[in-house]
């Protein structure tokens, strides 16, 4: 996959300034590539206009898979493959299957959710993360803007908008 | 989040309008009519009198009335005390999100004094028809009715008096629980209204200390109340998690009631600082504790089912093998677990009032069914069931409860304007 390599970054000191800046930058027609911050900023996804994650749907479907798997597995084992009388109960006695069903539902829902999350965010162990600014792990918020995606607007204009929105620094960042 | 200065009306009060009252009286009237129809049917229907007579116990129509009184006494007492409990939890947990709605939670406690009187009166009128252990002959070794198991448990009801006389220990507990619950409710009420005048943070700290005392008392009293008022109906039988089970049922019903109340007040144009984020959190509480209730219900059921010890499994046998109660076991699970679980799963369903309202109403009815299943099989046996009398009594109690709670709410200001975390509550965002 061809990835863009040239970016302009705005460095912000404060989350309130950052949120206002996002609003301002977006309203001036600039597309924001991504915003990085050292801690979760409340409500930032609304400001960035992100759609809600569809992860819960994946979790539900994986949970459903777990439920089905657990019930069929136990029913097959206990009633067909190797029927045994335990405690005088029927071979296929639903209440006794519930604890395992519950556990497998939770297990598959959570593992499936983690898996889908990692795939959808490209968070594989060998992935090379692109660090736009080392200080995002410390105390700075950084807004990255893809130059190629905003070719309609002059570079100098973008930098000016970032500056006026409250960025303490405006830098360029290129990746190999 | 950008902290814009908020301009909310902090002196707003709930106006208990004539239209609202009229609506409540309509419900009360419908309930009363159904109740009277039910009573007339029970008097003339006879309720399997011949079958009862064959067993040596003649069935009287008023037994069913008493059982219904008892179901609703226990159920609505639970909802009322859960309001106080949830209020105390907010302080003990130092929660900020709920600052704007804590008085709505607390207002449920207005029912407590009436609930206490109703329960004590019902007990003295109907003890022999509700509680098997109140019969003196059970404790008399010379009598043919002598029951060594109940005799062994007798001290729990009668100590320090002789077994089979006056259940002094039981009555003292009932009076004590209601006394302390009402005391704590009044204490919280006066402290929170004082905060409006005094300002500062000292009221908050005082309420937090009282909340801690209340929670300790409630932890013990809610469990013992469940044994006393519900579990002792099936005197031979016992379950070690029964206290939690009753508490969880109360808790879900209480949460649903306060959510409905908050949505109702929002519908009246009040509490404009309460937005879909707060409603979402209440929805999550309902969703979560619905699963908690199911967990406890199922834990109790599975162990009894699997161990299959006769003295334990009789409880579920009595219910599941009965034509009257058997179907309600599944109604209970559907209304209190399957449907709320599926309906409240998505984010949108918890944020949109109309949807949440429907689920809350279903849960309130559903947990009534839960208490119906706890009380009626042990008191009425095959003479019970859900009929006009049950629905009528439920509606009468529901309307009376709402009336008392709303008139209590109308007396004071709705928002604790000097609560130190009110600003945090405005900006609650999830």
A90 to chain B, closest Cα gap in Å: 11
pTM of the predicted protein model: 0.92
Does residue A1 belong to any structural domain of this protein?
no
**Shared-domain flag, residues A82 and A39:** no
Q: A22 and A36 in contact (C-beta within 8 Å)?
A: no
If you ran DSSP here, which 8-state letter would residue B384 be given? -
CB contact under 8 A, A98 and B306: no
pLDDT at B7 (0 to 100)? 79
Nearest by CB to residue B308, choosing from A42, A88, A99, is A88
Tens of each residue's pLDDT in chain B, 430 residues: 445 556 799 999 999 999 999 999 999 999 999 999 999 998 887 555 444 444 456 788 899 999 999 999 999 999 999 999 999 999 999 999 999 999 999 999 999 999 999 999 999 999 999 999 999 999 999 999 999 999 999 999 999 999 989 999 999 999 999 999 999 999 999 999 999 998 889 999 999 999 999 999 999 999 999 999 999 999 999 999 999 999 999 999 999 999 999 999 999 999 999 999 999 999 999 999 999 999 999 999 999 999 999 999 999 999 999 999 999 999 999 999 999 999 999 999 999 888 999 999 999 999 999 999 999 999 999 888 999 999 999 999 999 999 999 999 999 999 999 999 999 999 898 8
- Count CB pairs under 8 A between chains A and B: 30
Distance (Å) from the alpha carbon of B152 to chain A's nearest alpha carbon: 30
Place of tokens 């569809």: A54
Among A16, A43, A95, select the one facing B305 at the smallest CB separation. A95
Final residue of a structural domain among A82, A101, A120: A120
Q: How far, in Å, CA of B231 to CA of A105, rounded?
A: 33
Q: Is residue A77 part of a domain?
A: yes
Cβ neighbours for A16, distance < 8 A, ≥ 6 positions apart: B1, B2, B3
SS3 A11: strand
The answer to whether residue A125 is domain-embedded is no
Residues of chain A found within 8 Å of residue B301, distances taken between Cβ atoms: 95
Distances (CA, A) of B330 to A67, B18, B241, B403: 20, 40, 21, 32
Do A134 and A170 belong together in one domain? Answer: yes
Question: What is the total count of domains within chain A?
Answer: 2
Q: Are A47 and A20 within one domain?
A: yes
Domain that holds residue A134: 6-52+130-174
Is residue A85 in a domain? Answer: yes
Domain's final residue, options A120, A142, A161? A120
Alpha-carbon distance A83 to A66, whole Å? 23
Angle formed by the axes of helices B310-320 and B353-379, nearest 10°: 120
The CATH number of residue A21's host domain is 3.30.70
- ipTM strictly over 0.95? no
Judge: A19–B301 Cβ closer than 8 Å, yes or no. Answer: no
Minimum distance, in Å, between the CA of residue A172 and any CA atom of chain B: 28
Tell whether A19 is covered by a domain.
yes
- Same domain? A47 vs A134: yes
Residue A46 lies in a domain: yes
Q: Do both A16 and A67 map to the same domain?
A: no
Q: Is the pLDDT of residue A58 over 90?
A: yes
Q: A137 and A161 in one domain?
A: yes
Query: A104 and A63, same structural domain?
Result: yes
Name the B residues in 221-250 with CB < 8 Å from any A CB. none
């Amino acid at each position: 996959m061809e990835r863009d390599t040239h970016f302009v970054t705005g460095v912000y000191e404060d989350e309130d300034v950052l949120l206002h800046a996002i609003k301002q930058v977006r309203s001036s027609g600039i597309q924001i590539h991504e915003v990085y911050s050292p801690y979760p900023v409340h409500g930032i996804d609304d400001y960035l206009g992100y759609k809600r994650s569809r992860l819960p749907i994946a979790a539900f479907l994986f949970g459903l898979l777990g439920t089905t798997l657990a019930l069929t597995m136990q029913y097959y084992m206990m009633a067909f493959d190797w029927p045994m009388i335990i405690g005088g109960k029927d071979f296929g006695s639903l209440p006794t299957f519930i604890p395992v069903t519950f556990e497998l539902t939770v297990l598959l829902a959570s593992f499936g959710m983690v898996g889908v999350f990692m795939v959808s965010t490209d968070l594989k162990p060998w992935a090379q993360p692109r660090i736009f600014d080392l200080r995002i792990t410390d105390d700075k918020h950084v807004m990255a803007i893809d130059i190629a995606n905003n070719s309609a607007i002059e570079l100098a204009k973008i930098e000016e908008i970032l500056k006026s929105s409250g960025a303490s620094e405006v830098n360029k960042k290129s990746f190999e | 989040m950008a902290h814009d200065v908020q301009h909310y009306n902090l002196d707003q009060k709930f106006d208990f309008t004539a239209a609202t009252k009229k609506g409540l009286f309509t419900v009360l009237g419908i309930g009363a009519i159904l109740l009277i129809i039910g009573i007339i049917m029970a008097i003339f229907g006879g309720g399997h009198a011949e079958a009862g007579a064959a067993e040596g116990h003649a069935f009287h129509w008023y037994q069913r009335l008493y059982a219904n009184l008892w179901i609703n006494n226990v159920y609505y007492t639970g909802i009322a005390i859960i309001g106080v409990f949830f209020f105390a939890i907010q302080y003990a947990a130092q929660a900020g999100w709920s600052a704007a709605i804590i008085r709505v939670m607390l207002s449920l406690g207005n029912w407590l004094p009436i609930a206490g009187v109703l329960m004590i009166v019902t007990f003295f009128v109907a003890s022999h028809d509700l509680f098997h252990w109140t019969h003196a002959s059970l404790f008399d070794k010379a009598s043919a009715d002598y029951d060594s198991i109940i005799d062994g448990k007798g001290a729990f009801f009668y100590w320090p008096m002789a077994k089979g006389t006056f259940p002094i220990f039981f009555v003292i507990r009932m009076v004590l629980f209601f006394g302390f619950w009402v005391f704590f409710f009044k204490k919280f009420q006066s402290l929170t209204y004082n905060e409006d005048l005094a300002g500062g943070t000292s009221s908050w700290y005082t309420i937090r200390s009282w909340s801690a005392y209340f929670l300790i008392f409630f932890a013990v009293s809610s469990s013992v109340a469940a044994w006393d008022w519900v579990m002792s109906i099936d005197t031979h039988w016992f379950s070690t998690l029964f206290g939690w089970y009753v508490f969880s049922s109360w808790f879900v019903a209480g949460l649903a009631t306060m959510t409905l109340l908050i949505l109702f007040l929002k519908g009246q144009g009040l509490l404009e600082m309460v937005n879909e984020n707060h409603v979402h959190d209440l929805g999550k509480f309902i969703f979560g504790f619905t699963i908690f209730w199911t967990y406890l219900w199922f834990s109790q059921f599975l162990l009894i089912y699997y161990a299959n010890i006769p003295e334990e499994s009789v409880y579920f046998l009595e219910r599941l093998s009965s034509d009257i109660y058997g179907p309600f076991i599944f109604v209970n699970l559907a209304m209190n677990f399957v449907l709320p679980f599926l309906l409240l799963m998505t984010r949108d369903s918890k944020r949109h009032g109309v949807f949440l309202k429907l689920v809350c109403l279903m849960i309130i009815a559903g947990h009534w069914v839960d208490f119906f299943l706890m009380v009626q099989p042990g008191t009425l046996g095959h003479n019970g069931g859900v009929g006009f009398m049950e629905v009528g009594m439920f509606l009468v109690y529901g309307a009376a409860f709402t009336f008392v709670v709303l008139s209590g709410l109308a007396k004071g200001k709705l928002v604790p304007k000097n609560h130190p975390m009110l600003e945090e509550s405005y900006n609650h965002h999830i």
